[in-house]
Chain A
Amino acid sequence: MAETVVRRGERVRLGRVEGDLRAEDGAEVSAEEGGRVVVSGEARFEGSARLRSPFECRRLRVEHGEFEADGELRVEDRLRADDARVTLRGPLSVAALSVGPFLALGGPTSFETGDVGGVLEATAATTFRTLSVGGSLRASAPLKGGRLSVGGDARLAAVDLDGVEAGGEIQLGGGVVRETIEVGGVFSAREDLTFGNLEVGGTASFGAGGRGRRVEVGGVLSAARDLTVERLEVGGECVVGGSLTTGRTEVGGVLRVGGGLILSDHLEVGGRLEVAGDVVGPSAEIGGTLRARSARFTGAAEVAGPVRTSAGLRAASLKIANGSEVHGPVVGGTVEVGRHGRVETVFGTRVELGAHGQADRIVGGSVEVGADCRVGSIEYVRHLSLGRRVQLSRPAVQLATLPTPPR
């Protein structure tokens, strides 16, 4: 096949080149009469080069140095620059690209597969099927496509992607990631984000809200507004400024919610649960304090620490651990308050107050009060059992039916 050669440092004007083009170091190529350069074969640049006009070729290869293109660049097959820095100021369309240390994309770009060893900077919209960046990626314009993998950090504008994976840190503007976001270190989204799964080793933060399927965060998860997920696992602290709607949820430390907490599955919190609004769900185990306007569980709930609600704690079966202090009414099918527990008002089909406990008022179908308890009043329907040395401020009253508990 014919080969056109541009000598070292030469400035040439070209039109259509049949066959291959080979340019030595320092070449500068422009188009004749303001048109475009079209190379029917491969364009190979042996060193630094600059394309001053739109350029089109079947394959493009840069061996070393700095490669710059001011106009549009169209490569039918592959752009390869394993050991060159590439700066493209105009639009790029290419099937596959492989660039070593550095690639700057200044115009709208589309490719099927991309592989950049070092740094990729994109300042215009970029569309791709797969993109792998060994070092870092900065994209100040939208990214759209399939899977993105970054070895180091990624700072992105809005995204519309299938999946994202990064070793270090991902900051993105918001958008959609349909499958999994996997980040070793830190993840943050400035705007609303819809996602499939989110797996983060360190911390994750949503500057606005988020909606996804499964979230696993090793350290801290925070969301400024509402967060809606199907499953949530956080090793440390989870802070949601708006409401949290979730399925099965496990939080190792603290779960703090600024709005309401709506659960469709079991909740397990190792430390404190603090909710400004109402908690609704099937069941819960709280390792520490529970604070909420109200908490209502259709199944079992266990709280190991103090409880404070203004509108009540309600569960089909409720266990309050030894020594816990409960502020606000408690309503349950079965309510067990451990030894040395202190409660205000308790309503239950069956109520047990452990030894040395205190209660202002107990109302139950069946009531059992342990030894050395102090109780303001007891109203019961079927059965009352009082331990030794129980002090009652008023005599217990047997009722025909249970009164309606507070709603």
Chain B
Amino acid sequence: MAGDRPGTGPRTAVRRERTDLYASILEVIKRQPGTARITRISYGAGMPVDRLRSSLDRLVALGLVRRRELDRFTAYELTPRGQEFLTTYWKMRGYVALFGPPDGSGYV
């Protein structure tokens, strides 16, 4: 079965979804530099706060996001490594797009 092989089938699908999810969370945080509250991020990423919290913990552990304790709330901000992830993620999406349409069956 394809899914039994590493890096293929369902396993790849799960990994890809998670990568997309992390990218969308990072994009939301990026737009509120230094002030992103968890509720605000949840609105942007379209995720419930409890599920988002575990994703944020993971992103903090990976060094992609920094947690800052402010007076009244905890804020999240993108680290340079997080920005690097986003740049690489979109670049990779660009390469992946090469294998999809349009093939351009020919104006010539």
Contacts and interface: CB of A to CB of B under 8 A. Distances in A.
A219 B96 contact: yes
B6 interface: no
Interface residues of A, number: 45
Nearest to A102: B43
A175 interface: no
Contacts of B45: 134-135, 151-152
Nearest to B41: A134
B43 A203 contact: no
A218 B102 contact: no
B31 interface: yes
A100 B43 contact: yes
Contacts of A118: 43-44, 46
Interface residues of B, number: 30
Contacts of B19: none
B98 A237 contact: yes
A372 B27 CA distance: 63
A220 interface: yes
B86 interface: yes
Contacts of B28: 134-135, 151-152, 167
B32 interface: yes
18 contacts: A100-B43, A117-B40, A134-B44, A135-B45, A151-B44, A152-B28, A167-B24, A167-B28, A167-B30, A184-B86, A219-B94, A219-B97, A222-B104, A236-B98, A239-B104, A240-B107, A254-B104, A256-B107
Interface of A: 82-83, 100-102, 117-119, 132-135, 149, 151-152, 167-168, 184-186, 200-203, 205, 217-220, 222, 235-237, 239-241, 253-254, 256-258, 274-276, 291
Given A117-B41, A220-B100, 17 more contacts: A82-B39, A134-B31, A134-B43, A134-B45, A135-B43, A151-B31, A151-B45, A152-B24, A152-B45, A185-B93, A202-B93, A202-B96, A219-B94, A254-B104, A257-B107, A275-B108, A291-B108
